[in-house]
Structures are given as structure tokens and as C-alpha cells.
Chain A
Amino acid sequence: MNELIPLMVIIPIACGLLLNLLHKKDTAIKILAIVVAIVLPIIPLLSNYGLHYFGGHAPLIENPILLETLPSQISQSALAIFHPAITYSYESLQKLFIFVLGIVAFFAIFTSLNETKKVSGPYMFLMFMGTAAVTALLLSNDIFHMYIFFEIAALCQVGIILVSSTKENYETALKYMILGSIGGPLLLLGIGFILGAVGSVNISDIIYAINQNLVNPFSQTFLIGFGLILFGWLYASGLPPFHTIKSSIYSKALPHSAALLQSFTVVTFIAMGLVIFRIFSYLPFLKVIILVFSLIAMILGVTMAIIQTDIRRILGFLAVGELGYIGIGLGIGTTLSITAGLFQAVNEILITALLFIGFGTVFYLTNSSDTKKLGGLITQNPKIAIMVLLGGFAMAGVPPFNGFQSKLMIIESALKAGFPEISIIAVLVSIVTFMVFMKAFYSVYLKPKPQDLSIVNENIPKSTILSIAVLLIICLIIGLFPQLVTDNISPFVAGLI
């Protein structure tokens, strides 16, 4: 059933467009959005692994009859092996990430529909479109296609900020767009350099050309292309120097959309990171570069989180710090470390979504996310407070949650690969993460309630509580049975190495 592969992208796009047209028809929007949100995590489970060629144009070598009719310049050269159409590749890793993304998208849409009084068609459109864009990034085996959906994902993120109607959202959106509009064309330019050298934008073709010595991978063309694509990757995933703008984006979004936005970031980080890893793995300095940026992201993320007073911004910076762990896994470059990094990515998507939705209830209750103005909210809803606390434990890597398993794997892989310094930094950053989280938790829930704190909404919707509970249960299950996730990652990593 390889026909289902493109449907993972087509369905959310089609649904998004339809929702946009249904603007102001609230009931129709709610029903359609919920139905499609339920379908999103189901399609990857039903689809078989394999390749999907758009337009049915397989490489010429798979069609010997046609190949015979073509000139020898084509039939006896690499052109016969090259992919003439956009190709989607669907493997166990894609299945895992699209499934997790689907779950987060479902909960973000579910809570959004119940928390907001007036349902917005364009807002739903942007959430679905963003989900489709990052899904396409994961599936695509084509660097130009990657660029297209990179831009669409960036536009959707800006759109989500714009329709969130939070204070100073337009200013943040402008800043993000200016940086993005420099990062995007530079990424395109990098793709142009690779296209100029190889003659194809298909990743498998580029790797084939490098392995068969059809091109010189150490030529200036390739190195400039690498530098520009790396720049695009740093921007898209919010690694330094773009960590500040990325966390600003989260803080200007509504909590449920921030949960979705961070999942977009992690998936983009993984999708583009793996593309860079696959194409440029021959470069001796690639792993060092990834390690350096990841370590800076970890350290800057947690240190900047310490000085913040806005809970959404604290979470934003902690999310950047957590992203560093994934990068370390990729940067060390062993089978165990990459598996650990990708495992950490799955965990980060789930835990950060839980925390954004969990702390989002504070914003829903008080219309404020400033820790200086908050306090004593544990009496308002102790159940949510406990679940958020457990979510924080998961993020900091406390057993038996999933964060513990993946961080332990990363530390173990760093030690095995001969990088004890990285293990020490990872442990220290984990401790600081715990400290920062506890400080935020104390400020919001435990310290005495300020006199001037007014409660805007008394009751938190049951759908929000359900979302937090289910996400927490998923974190616990993965923590107890990590093989549920790692079994899906290991075959992919084995093929990658």
C-alpha cells in the first residue's frame, strides 16, 4: 500500500485548505478538524515501507524496455540510475516520527478547539499545513523538495504566531521572517551548488555520485553547498545563533500551538540533520561541527532559561537545550549514539508538548505567564500541577520516564565513544534543567498567591486535562518499555551507518 505514503502529506494539506474555506462555520470546522486530526497518526501505521515515485516515474534502470530505446549517453551512464521524479522514502524512522507528530498535532488541535471560544478556520489551516510540511520534510528524498517544505513550514510558523493575537506577536514574526528570508535563499543557493556539481537533487543520486567518484566531494562547490545548507539547518532548528528567536516564537504562540511548533522544530532538526549526515558524512569535520553547535545549544539553552521570568520563554529555552542532546547523539556518530539521539528527539517532542499544554493551563486561568505575577495555583487544580511536575521530571531525565532512558543512552554512547567530557556536560545540563524547571514550578504553583492575581477562567476544559494525562502516560510507557521506540530506530540507523 505505497499509495498511502503521499496521503500523509496530501490529507492535512487538503483538510487545511477546506478548513480555510469553511471560515465562520464553527461546527463544520470542529468536526472536520477532529476527524482529520484522528486520521493523522493512523495513516503511518497502515502504510507499508517503501518508496513512492511521484507521477510513477521510477529510475530508468527499472524499465529495461524504455532504457533500450534511449541514447547511450543516458542508458549507459549514471542517468539510468538517477531518479527523475520526486521520491518519498518511508521507513521505520519516518513511521515513528510521523506517528508521534500526528499524536502531538491531534492533542494540539483537540485542546485548541476546546480552549478557544471562537474557532478560526485559518488557524486550523496553518496547524494542518505546518504538520503536512514537516511530514513532507521527513519523507522527502530530495533536497529541493526539502527546501520547498522548509519554506512552507517557516511560513506556517509565522502564520500561527500572527493569528495567536498575543502581545508583540507581529514584531517577533517580522524578526523571524527576516532571518528566515535570509536563511531560506541561502539554503536554496546551497542546493544550487550541489545541483550544479551532481546534476540531480535526489539525495540517493547525490550519494551515488559521491560514492562512485563521479564528483569530487571535497571540491569548493561541495564545501560551499555544505556550508549554506548547514546555515539553513541551524536556522530551521533554532540552534545557535538562532536560539533566541526560536524561543521568542514559542513564547508568542498560544500554549497548544507552541506545543505543535516545538514538534515542528524537532522534526525539522531531525529531517534536515539526517539529510546533511547522509550526504556529507565523508567530511572529517562534520561530526565536530554538529557536536560544537549542539553543545553550545545545550549550554546556552539552559543558562538563558535560568534568567527568564516568562514560563513559555523558560520552556522555549529548555527546548533548545534539549535539542542539543539530539545533536550530540548525531554528532558522536556511532550506532548507539544516533539511536539515542533519535530516541531523545521522540521524547523531547512528547515531553515539551506536555509541558507547553500543562503550563498553558496557567495562561488559560490567569491570562499571564509571568512567574513574578503568578503563585499558589496548586490549589486551583492540583491534578494538573502534579502532572506538570512529573512532566518536568521526565524532561530532566528522572526515572522511570522516557527522558531518563534516552539521556542515559546518550551518556552511555558518549562514554563508549571516548568522550567522557560530553557525558559530564550532559549530566550537568540535565541537573540545571531540573533546577530551572523546579524554580518555574515553585513560582507558579507553590509560592504564596499574589494579592493582585485574578483568575480569568475558573475551569480548565476536561479535554486539556485529558491531553496532559495521555501524553504523560505515553511518556511513562516509553520510559518503561524503551524498546517500543528504539526497535523502530535501530534498523534505520544500521542502514545509515
Chain B
Amino acid sequence: MIDIVIDTQLASLFTSAAFIIVGLFAAIFLDNIIKKIIGIAFIEEGANLFIVTLGYKPGGIVPIFLPGMDAEWFALNSAYPLPHALVLTSIVIGASTLAVMLAIAIVLYKKHGTLSTSEILGDK
């Protein structure tokens, strides 16, 4: 039996790539609006996961400077907090985009009686 050892950061990067590929496939090729929206959510989360992963440091500590800590030791061992802060904002943006898209989907479903993008958009 072969043991596959893969480190956390690499695994996380692969997961985010998988999220983005699956999301792109769903957003481009699937016809159902809801499935498209789920695909878009996958792309967004994939991008967020990718950025979170950038801040990861193997064996690193939470980037909070507590009293009594040696500044030099902290600088060497803490995880990089900037990507985490950025992702928080990005999640909010993603949530609002999804909310607007779902609202449009509801209106269009009421108007056309279908969730099929090809039927709703036709040749527009």
C-alpha cells in the first residue's frame, strides 16, 4: 500500500482549484439558473480558500501579539494575517452578489415559469 502524504497547504490549494473548476463548469455549461448560481458560489469560495491558504504557515501561531511575547519570535512564527482579513470582506461581497442573483432568479421564475437559462434568455 502506498501512503500519500500531502501537506495541508498543498491539499488546500488543490481543493480550491477543484472548487473553481467545478464552479466554472456549472456556471458555463449547466442550464438551470440555480445550478449556475451554485457554480458561481463554488468559484467564489474557491478563490477565497486560495487566498486563505496563502496566509497559512506550517506550525505557525495565531497572529495576535500578546504581552510578554518576543517580537522577533512572533515575527518568525505567526501566520500571515492579511489574506484572512481580505477574505472576510470578499465573503461579504460574495454573499451580496449571490443574494441579488437569487432575487433575480425568483422574479424570472415567476415571469417565465421555468428556471432554464436558455428558455429565459432565448437569443438575447
Contact = CB atoms under 8 A, between A and B. Distances in A.
Contacts of A177: 97, 100-101, 104
Contacts of A162: 104
Interface size class of chain B, counting residues whose CB lies under 8 Å from the partner chain? 35 or more
A188 B46 CA distance: 10
Interface in B19-46: 20, 24, 27-28, 33, 36, 40, 43-44, 46
Contact of B40 (A71, A173, A178): A178
A168 B40 contact: no
A323 to B, nearest CB: 22
A158 interface: yes
A73 B75 contact: yes
A368 B94 CA distance: 37
Nearest to B85: A144
A379 to B, nearest CB: 35
A396 to B, nearest CB: 29
A185 B93 CA distance: 10
Interface in B74-114: 75-76, 80, 82-83, 86, 89-90, 93-94, 96-97, 100-101, 104-105, 107-108, 111
A151 interface: yes
Interface residues of A, number: 39
Chain B contact residues: helix, strand, loop or mixed: helix
B40 A73 contact: no
A56 B80 CA distance: 21
Interface stretch (A193-201, A352-360, A487-495): A193-201
Contacts of A173: 104
Interface string A104-125: 0000000000000000000000
Interface string A185-213: 11011001001100111000000000000
Contact of A192 (B27, B43, B51): B51
B33 to A, nearest CB: 7
B43 A181 contact: yes
A184 interface: yes
B71 interface: yes
Given A155-B96, A178-B40, A188 B33 contact: no
Contact of A172 (B54, B75, B111, B124): B124
Contact of A151 (B28, B75, B97, B108): B97
Given A177-B100, A192-B54, A248-B124, 9 more contacts: A147-B90, A148-B90, A151-B97, A168-B124, A170-B104, A186-B43, A195-B51, A195-B54, A199-B82
